[in-house]
Chain A
Amino acid sequence: MNGPETLAGAMPGRPKSAGRAWPLAIEFLFRKAAALAAFLAAAALFATVLAIAYDSRLAIHTFGVWKFLKSSEWNPVTDTFGALPFIIGTLGSSAIAMILAVPISFGIAVFIAEIAPRWLKKPIAGAVELLAAIPSIVYGLWGLLVFAPAFANLEPWISQYLGSIPGIGLLFQGPPMGIGMLTAGIVLAIMVLPYISSIMRDAFMAVPSSLRESAYAMGATTWEVAWQITLPYARSAVIGGIFLGLGRALGETMAVTFVIGNSDMISASLLMPSATITSVLANEFTEATTKLYLSSLIYLGLILIAVTLVVQFLALLLIRRLGRREGVAA
């Protein structure tokens, strides 16, 4: 800006006609509004974290950080609280969800992008996307009333065959109740499937067809094209999609509360009931009668934010590293 000029005159390279004044005023307002929107979002995050940290100060003061994280006692009667069972439940159920959802999403994306005939692409893509439109409470009810009873019939088989394998067999032992960490993981997997698969599919469809077609012309199979051409090309988008799904799985509340069994015992078996940070918050927030109890619940919320931030940070690191390796290879 040089000197007191009119708004239109301040923009170099623009015709200095009076007719441009309005669009430029709008441009000015638009830029400010965009900045405001961005700052508001950042400020909301900052304010939320601050408020949660402030309200959990009593629990932080009483239990400290490390002691709260490693203690597995959650006893509202004696006002003793620890987060370990819920952190394990949160990470465990989300890990199961990702182990199931990522390969299936890959399959869906490859099918739609590479294999499916034109007339089938649309209905399948639409059906998968509609999964995202189902409210989580409906997933919870479905999980509790439909999936869990059916799964309970399968569990004796699981514990008989998988439970007898030395080592990992420990993960699959226990009474067939139909609910627990594994059920929660499966329901979560269905819930995050649409997010991961639609991002993967869009990324796969954006791969230049020249690349794909040259590979086919060289005699590559569908698997080779998907694994060696499409996936590396779309890698960063795919990883972004996976972490979006993971973020959702970590924060999902209602559906998990219904099917995880809500027990604060730490168990090696995935068939046993467990609890997540979000489920204990949803369950106990309304009736938390003492100040320390309430503060400890809010502290759990703070820990969930921290866990999510760590996961996001890891995602960023991973993408950077992969990008660098890609650059070296090329």
Chain B
Amino acid sequence: MRGMRQATEKKHRGLLLWTAIFVATLALGSTKLSWAESGGQSSAGNLTGAGSTWVYPLVAKWADAYKAKTGVAVNYQAIGSGGGIAQIKAGTVAFGASDMPLTPDALKSAGLIQFPTAVAGADMVYSLPGIGPGQIVLSGPAIADIYLGKVKYWDDAEIAKLNPGLRLPHTYITCVHRSDGSGTTFTFTNYLSKVSPEWKSKVGSNTSVAWPTGGVGGKGNQGVASFVQRIPGAIGYVEYAYILENHMSYARMYNSAGKVVSPSLQGFQDASGHVDWTTAQDFYVILTDQPGPDTWPISGCTWQILRKNASKAANMQVMKFFYWGFEDGQSMAKAIAFGPLPPSTVAAIKAYWQKELGYTI
């Protein structure tokens, strides 16, 4: 017994030694560390929402400013779109957020309404030595063929045709995708389904799909970005914000008007601006492959979902918050690469509230 106790004491002394070394190193290093500020979330928030992780940075940013201005705390939990829909159906939150719109039938049967929040975009990134940002031009069908495994090398005729004059290497294309279910994947696969009948019949669109080539799955935008940067010849799709942040090599794209465009906030907004929201029932329009000469083809948005039979006061609080975001939160949205909704869309949302709820801002 005594021996054992001595042994554990020795063990502990060893542990102590290393802990001391570790703490000392940390103390030295911490002078250089800048501590991330903790998100000031009040547990006694009087407005709660849950859902999409995609829209989280925007709602969080708006919520901070909104609280400073009005004193109303918005507590948004990024638990994923599926969770957001379940929570709003159960009535445990004031609003749910989903990256995939619900069909008008599904909304009707559950007594829900939905409206868009802001437009964001995804783009293809790649790593090819010597080929920089914006140098490669891709089209929807070409991307679909790459992810279907029909185009295997960068110097394939289908890519070369889109890039006359660019010397493409004979490098194997590794397809990188999001491993976690995400709205970005939904937007991306929805776009491919629109431009490639083969993709639509073989794969389809969802927040996660069965990838035909297997490929590599990275967790989050960051995971995809780091795999693409790491693996020579890799291609992947990430949100626009990550391209800016990581200075990645992005592709330019042919849009539905046949023009070559670079990803931009204006391009995302145009995707929304060309939709006739007054005829689109329940805003059930997915913003991929929209018309317009400057429209970015892989644009998407997040929908906020409300319950029709919630109290007027509760719904008004949510509506006020988002309306404030539409009006006063535009520069905040732009700063984190979300395109604000154009005035025509905001007007359509106001009319929709009046029609569905019987009251509006």
The 10 closest A-B pairs by CB, nearest first: A287-B181, A126-B14, A286-B80, A262-B217, A265-B214, A262-B179, A122-B14, A77-B204, A75-B210, A287-B207
Which partner residue on chain B sits nearest A127 by CB separation? B18
Asked if A123 CB lies within 8 Å of chain B CBs, one says yes
A145-B226, A175-B231 known, 15 other contacts, Cβ within 8 Å: A77-B210, A122-B11, A125-B10, A130-B22, A144-B226, A175-B174, A177-B227, A273-B215, A273-B216, A283-B208, A284-B181, A287-B208, A289-B81, A289-B82, A294-B82
> Judging by beta carbons under 8 Å apart, are B230 and A178 in contact?
yes
Q: A77-B203, A123-B18, A257-B179 are in contact. Are A129 and B82 (CB under 8 A)?
A: no
Q: Mark A7-30, 1 if CB is under 8 A from B, else 0.
A: 000000000000000000000000
Which residues of B line the A interface, CB within 8 A? 3-4, 7, 10-11, 13-19, 22, 53, 79-83, 85, 100, 172, 174, 179-182, 203-211, 214-219, 223, 226-227, 230-231
* Count of residues in A whose CB is under 8 Å from the partner chain: 49
> Judging by beta carbons under 8 Å apart, are B230 and A284 in contact?
no
Please report the C-alpha to C-alpha distance between residue A283 and residue B14 in the assembled complex, in whole angstroms: 38
Please report the C-alpha to C-alpha distance between residue A77 and residue B230 in the assembled complex, in whole angstroms: 29
- B103–chain A nearest beta-carbon distance, Å: 12
Asked if A152 CB lies within 8 Å of chain B CBs, one says yes
List 6 A–B pairs whose Cβ atoms lie within 8 Å, in order of A's numbering: A127-B18, A129-B14, A130-B19, A149-B230, A177-B216, A262-B217
> Judging by beta carbons under 8 Å apart, are B79 and A125 in contact?
no
Contacts of B227 in A (CB 8 A): 177, 179
Interface contacts (Cβ under 8 Å), in number, total 138
- B111–chain A nearest beta-carbon distance, Å: 19
Which partner residue on chain A sits nearest B13 by CB separation? A122
> Judging by beta carbons under 8 Å apart, are A123 and B82 in contact?
no
Contacts of B11 in A (CB 8 A): 122, 125-126, 129, 198
Q: Which of A122, A175, A287 contacts B80 (CB 8 A)?
A: A287
Please report the C-alpha to C-alpha distance between residue A243 and residue B199 in the assembled complex, in whole angstroms: 45
Please report the C-alpha to C-alpha distance between residue A272 and residue B215 in the assembled complex, in whole angstroms: 9
Please report the C-alpha to C-alpha distance between residue A305 and residue B51 in the assembled complex, in whole angstroms: 29
Asked if A103 CB lies within 8 Å of chain B CBs, one says no
Q: Which of A179, A264, A279 contacts B214 (CB 8 A)?
A: A264
> Judging by beta carbons under 8 Å apart, are A129 and B80 in contact?
no
Q: A123-B18, A177-B230 are in contact. Are A273 and B206 (CB under 8 A)?
A: no
Asked if A199 CB lies within 8 Å of chain B CBs, one says no
Please report the C-alpha to C-alpha distance between residue A179 and residue B234 in the assembled complex, in whole angstroms: 13
